Structure 1
Amino acid sequence: MKIARLLLASATLGLLAAPQALADTADKKIALSNNYAGNSWRQAMLKSWQKVTSQAVADKVVAAADAFTTAENQATEQAAQIQNLVLQGYDAIVVNAASPTALNGAVKEACDAGIVVVSFDGIVTEPCAWRIAVDFKKMGSDQLDYLAERLPDGGNLLEIRGLAGVSVDEEIHSGIVAGVAKHPKFKVVGSVNGDWAQTVAQKAVAGILPSLPEIAAVVTQGGDGYGAAEAFKAAGRPTPIIIMGNRHDELTWWKQQKDANGYETMSVSIAPGVSTLAFWVAQQILDGQDVPKDLVVPFLRIDQDNLEASLEATEPGGVANKEYTLDEAKAVVAGK
């Protein structure tokens, strides 16, 4: 009846030709299912979600936008969480997935119940879901392209990987492998998991350093650069080129080294605010918009010439970020 009244009003005003959606999401509930929150990127992601969605609720764009996080990257726990969200009557579920495949059964159940599922960062492969992806493989291979320019003679690399079993880790790693194949003067001589966390990375690098030869550069996934730098310092070893991951502590360290001795590197990561893009995409789907199943957003890169500006715009303890507005989300959906 509500839509019928809107149609009647539009017809009366002669506005039926206007390209505006008539669906109403003011009574819709959206949930975020997050698999892990144990590093600064995830915390910034949740903070961005809360900031943007709380305003959307206040503006009555949606009725609710609640966030739920599992204990420790457990796919079985997250699948159960998604099933509970279905039972709780959410209209859409935004998912940062522990696995691209292990949640597919729960996602399919949600879709079959008429619920919109939008995955981002850690995406799912279930066809009924939407995916907001970053070219993480390119994020890995770009590191080798940069190092090839800086170190034309190549050298030994230490690779710091992310959280084991997560698609993001696998994709960035595959990009690094492809980059080494493209630039064969480089050789990965050691690999550790840093879980995208400074303290974990520092401990892991400290543990492997005594067994490694001279390291020319450290390739990373984000959140691990400062920890790697501290481990090299503690071991009394020369600081290699360490690729950073847009965290405030990494950018601060880089700025200090740049000022002191001209240290050069680059920094790259996905903006945590991609969670807000996923929220708006879910809202647009609920609003009856035609949204492609697969959307791609760029990663955020910081170079030597924009380090200071990027650091100034990044909160202490946070990550260089971008939060999306509804209009910006519409532009991404439209491929602009």
Structure 2
Amino acid sequence: MRIPSTSWRRIAAAASLATVTFLTSACGTGTGSNGDAAGSAAKSGDKPFIALSNGFIGNGWRQTMVAAFEDAAKQAQADGLIGKYKAINAPGDNSATEQIAQIKSLLLQKPDALLIDPSSPTALKPVIQQACNAGIKVVVFDSAIDAPCAHVIQNSFTDWATHAAKPLLEGIGGKGNVIVSRGVVGSQPEAEMHKTTQKILSDYPSVKTAATVTGMCDGATAQKAVLGVLSSVPKVDGVIGCGDGYGVAQAFTSAGKDVPAVTFETNGRALNYWKDKKIDNGSVAVMSDPGQSVAAMWAALDLLDGKKVPEHMTLPIVLVEQKDRDAWASVLKPDQYAAWPWTRDLFRQQVEAAENGGKPVQPPVPTAAD
């Protein structure tokens, strides 16, 4: 199935809105296309009010995720599917306490549906139950959650960690020294990914972990973290990360060292760097899909319409292998992360696949002709 070029242009627009989205939604002042404050408790006629709570905004993936939601929600509002929408980012560093306070504030505004990218798999359970008790449809995405009343949409973090590590380890011949760059430590996805990474490394006895750093799945953070350990580690053959390879590469370049195999970000800057430098050493680009926020919006609208949605859905990660790298690089802006273009029709195909026990429908890789 091919997605019309307008869909890819909307994704590009989402990336360009990322900075503006951060500035507006972090303060809770996002507006709908009618110019009214999106956080108003009043509905626009009988159309639903959709709110998004994001527990962390400190990397480009999260900014793309929020921007993708805002772009899709704005279009849904223009199409008469929703009345209002609002996205708020917790101000701290993945703090469950601050996100709980944020959600409680949102509940006072009486949204019809609440989308949550959670900071903790357990701490948000009481406030999510509070939302459910108030009749609000809750869709959690990007993480598992200990809250039975919520619907959950996520990617497979085991798949993400596996594709980040195995091609790289095979690319360096299954031996040598690696640095492990961890993601948002304390979050459920990161814990699952780190466990998977350690299990995979145990299958490669000739590979030594020379250092472990916290890169937060963010190139700039990883660059500083890796640069801080390079002087104290021996030759490094690879850096296993969760989408921070561009920053890691800059760290090695700054230190006057050759760039090893890395796990690149799935954004335009990283993919074009990978392409232009002709890197062919086991590097890969893989991350979860920031478009999950849009899929969560379609799930919420279906639930509000009384349609059946599985309580748990696992959607495809975004894996950019070398064979598809140039296609993605040609359609992404530097700070734009690759995201699947979740139309309502494509989401319902996923629902049908889940209900029938089939594999998730794989969205199409863009081409220059799209």
Please give the range of the TM-score, normalised by the shorter of the 2 chains: 0.7 to 0.9
8 Å contact 2:291–2:342 — kept in the other structure? yes
Once residues 266 and 223 of structure 2 are traced to their aligned partners in structure 1, the CA distance between those partners, rounded to angstroms, is 17
Cα distance between partner residues in 1 of 2:133 and 2:280: 57
Identity among equivalent positions (%) equals 34
1:328 aligns with 2:349: no
- Contact 1:96-1:123 within 8 A present in 2 as well: no
Taking the aligned partners of 1:227 and 1:178, their CA distance within structure 2 comes to 25
How big is the shift at 1:289? 0.9
**Letter paired with 1:280:** W
Instruction: Name the CA distance, whole Å, in 2 between partners of 1:45 and 1:173.
Output: 22
Q: 1:226 aligns with which of 231, 246, 263?
A: 246
Q: Which of 297, 304, 309 is the matching residue for 1:286?
A: 304
CA distance in 1, matches of 2:46, 2:239: 48
Task: Quote the offset at 1:163 in angstroms.
Answer: 1.7
Deviation track 1:58-112 (CA, whole Å, cap 9, x = no partner) reads: 1111111211111022211111111222221111100000111111110011111
| Counterpart residue type for residue 294 of structure 1 | H
CA distance in 2, matches of 1:26, 1:158: 54
Q: Which residue of 1 aligns with 2:120?
A: 99
What is the Cα deviation at residue 225 of structure 1? 0.8
Picking from 156, 172, 194, the partner of 1:151 is: 172
Q: Which amino acid aligns with 1:193?
A: T
Question: Hey, what's the Cα distance between the residues in 1 that align with 2:263 and 2:46?
Answer: 44
Q: Deviations over 1:236-294 (max 9, x none)?
A: 22221111121222112111211xx6555211011211110011001111110111110
Q: Kindly state the Cα deviation for residue 215 of structure 1 after the two structures are TM-superposed.
A: 1.1
**Partner amino acid, structure 1, of 2:190:** D
1:187-198 residue pairs with structure 2 within 5 A? 187-198=208-219
Q: What does 1:78-93 align with in structure 2 at a 5 Å threshold?
A: 78-93=99-114
Tell me if the contact between 1:48 and 1:323 (Cα under 8 Å) persists in the aligned partners. Answer: no
Name the structure 1 match of 2:24. Answer: none
- 8 A Cα contact 1:137 1:173, kept in partner: no
Match for residue 55 of structure 1?
75
Is the contact made by 2:49 and 2:85 (CA closer than 8 Å) also made in structure 1? yes
Q: Aligned partner of 2:332: which letter?
A: T
TM-score of the pair, normalised by structure 2: 0.80
Contact 2:143 2:188 in 1 (8 A): yes
- In 1, Cα distance between the equivalents of 2:198 and 2:349? 33
Q: Name the SS of the counterpart of 1:334 in structure 2.
A: helix
Aligned match of 1:240:
260
Change in 2 beyond 3 A, CA 1:112/1:309: same
Matches within 5 A, 1:33-44: 33-44=53-64
Instruction: Give structure 1 stretches of 5+ with no counterpart.
Output: 1-24
Are the aligned partners of 2:153 and 2:314 in contact in 1 as well (CA < 8 Å)? yes
1:254–1:263 Cα contact (<8 Å) kept: no
User: What is residue 270 of structure 1 aligned with on the other side?
Assistant: 288
Q: In structure 2, what is the equivalent of residue 6 of structure 1?
A: none
Q: Which residue of 1 aligns with 2:65?
A: 45
SS at match of 2:266: coil
